[in-house]
Each structure stands twice: as C-alpha cells, then as structure tokens.
C-alpha cells in the first residue's frame, strides 16, 4: 500500500508514518523538514507556483496513493487582536487553503481506486476554542470541506474520513500550549494514529475523554466553550 502523509516529520504525522511502515506500507512524506519514508520538501503555505508545480509532478510520479493522511497543521495562540494578521493568514493557509489545493491535485490522477482520504481536524470542531480562534476556524473549514467531498468522492470509490483528535503529547501541542502546561492527560500520538488507521467511520474521535468532550460540546456548548477558555485562554500571557 502507498501512503502519503502531510506533516509526517513529527508528532501525529510521524506516528502514522511509523505505524504504516511497521505494517509494510510504502510511506511518502510531505513536510518542510525531512521525515521518514520517501520525502518531498514542501511548505503547505507556500505562495510559490513553481513549488506547487514541482509537487504536482512528484505526486504524479509517486502515486497513485491508497491512503492519504492530511496531518500538517499549525496554530496561533493568544488574544485574537494581539496575534499578527500574517500569523492568522498562515494558519488558514497551512490548515485549510493548502489542503484544498493539494486535494485538487490528488483528485486528478494520484488517488488509487478504493483510496482513503483522511482529514485531520480537531476536537475544536465541537466546541469554541478561545485563545486559538483562527486555528478553530481553519479546522471547522477543513471539516466542512471533508463533509462536502464525502458523497462525490464515494461515487469515485474514494472513502473520505474526518479525524478529530483531542490534545496529544506532541511538539505541536507543547509549542502552542500555555507556558508551564503539563502533558499529563494528553493522548500519545501513537495511540491516536492506531485509532485513526483502524477506524472505518466517517468521523473518528480517538479516546474516551475526547468522545465525552464531543458529547458535552453538543449538549452544553456554552459551558464547554467556557471550560475551553479556562483551559487555554485564561492561562495565556
């Protein structure tokens, strides 16, 4: 099986890459820094048309892919008005606009019959996320994109999935968490990766705690948003 992973050099993406390699898959990684498997350097926020054209050529040469995991993502935390506008733009470029552009490339001739296309969103899709508003907006956009593609892709034999993991013990989480935050209670990326790879459901929420958070977000959205505010926003400088 050929597996393409964006953001596969570290964190959740690297955990997926390791799990796929362990079961004998051929792993291809897109990231800004070298990762496991067959690597192609690419910045999902790049405005360089030549870089995107080179990526299209590489995808055509390496594909078609049986599994694509769209894991690359960044955040910007703090008071919304204090975060530079260019940081908000980069969040949406990496997490949403770049994904849309990549999927359009893949859809043309780089997805194998029966392929799986897995979008990695966030638990933020089920609750407000004070302190990381543009991140939440980009992940909500990604979720809407995945839902909108699900039926058309199914007609072509491609299964679309939307994974919404909660906090994981990754460099990404450490970078954007409030200073001094503990990793206790965060799910290991390896465990989350295994849950996503095993699931055949459209929406995948790894772990019991995140599943309960999804339920709370649906039943008591205002209370859940206040809780998220205390967990993140109130602790940010």
d(CA 82, CA 26): 43
Structure-token match 């933020």, residue found: 124
3-state SS, 83-102, equals: CCHHHHHHHHHHHHHHHHHH
| Per-domain residue ranges of the chain | 2-235
Strand order in the sheet with 111-120: 38-41, 26-31, 2-6, 65-70, 111-120, 159-163, 203-204
* Each residue's pLDDT tens digit, 128-167: 888 899 999 999 999 999 999 999 999 999 999 999 998 8
**pLDDT value of residue 237:** 60
Average pLDDT on 175-184 reads: 71
CATH number, domain 2-235: 3.40.50.720
Q: How many Å separate Cα 189 from the centre of its chain?
A: 12
pLDDT: is 177 or 71 the higher one? 71
Please say if the pLDDT value at position 92 is more than 90: yes
DSSP H helical ranges for the chain: 11-22, 49-62, 85-92, 98-109, 133-155, 171-176, 189-198, 208-219, 221-231
d(CA 195, CA 163): 10
**pLDDT value of residue 217:** 86
d(CA 153, CA 159): 7
**pLDDT value of residue 180:** 66
* Each residue's pLDDT tens digit, 217-227: 888 888 878 87
Residues 98, 72 contacting (CB under 8 angstroms): yes
Q: Which two tokens stand for residue 212?
A: 């309960």
* Each residue's pLDDT tens digit, 12-57: 999 999 999 999 999 999 999 987 889 999 999 999 999 999 999 9
Q: What is the pTM of this model?
A: 0.92
């Amino acid at each position: 099986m050929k597996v393409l992973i964006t953001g596969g050099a570290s964190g959740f993406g690297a955990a997926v890459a390791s799990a796929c390699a362990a079961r004998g898959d051929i792993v291809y990684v897109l990231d800004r820094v070298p990762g496991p498997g067959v690597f192609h350097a690419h910045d999902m926020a790049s405005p360089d048309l030549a870089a995107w054209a080179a990526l299209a050529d590489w995808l055509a040469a390496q594909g078609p892919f049986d599994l694509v995991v769209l894991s690359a993502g960044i955040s910007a935390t703090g008071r919304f008005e204090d975060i530079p506008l260019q940081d908000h733009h980069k969040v949406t470029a990496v997490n949403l606009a770049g994904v849309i552009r990549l999927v359009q490339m893949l859809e043309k001739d780089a997805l194998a019959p029966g392929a799986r296309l897995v979008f990695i969103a966030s638990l933020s899709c089920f609750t407000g996320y004070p302190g990381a508003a543009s991140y939440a907006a980009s992940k909500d956009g990604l979720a809407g994109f995945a839902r909108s593609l699900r039926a058309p892709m199914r007609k072509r034999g491609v299964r679309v999935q939307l994974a919404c993991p909660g906090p994981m013990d990754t460099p990404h989480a450490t970078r954007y968490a409030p200073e001094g935050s503990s990793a206790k209670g965060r799910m290991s990326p390896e465990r989350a990766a295994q849950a996503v790879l095993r699931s055949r459901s459209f929406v995948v929420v790894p772990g019991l705690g995140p599943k309960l958070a999804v339920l709370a977000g649906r039943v008591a959205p205002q209370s859940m948003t206040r809780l998220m505010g205390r967990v993140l926003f109130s602790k940010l400088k």
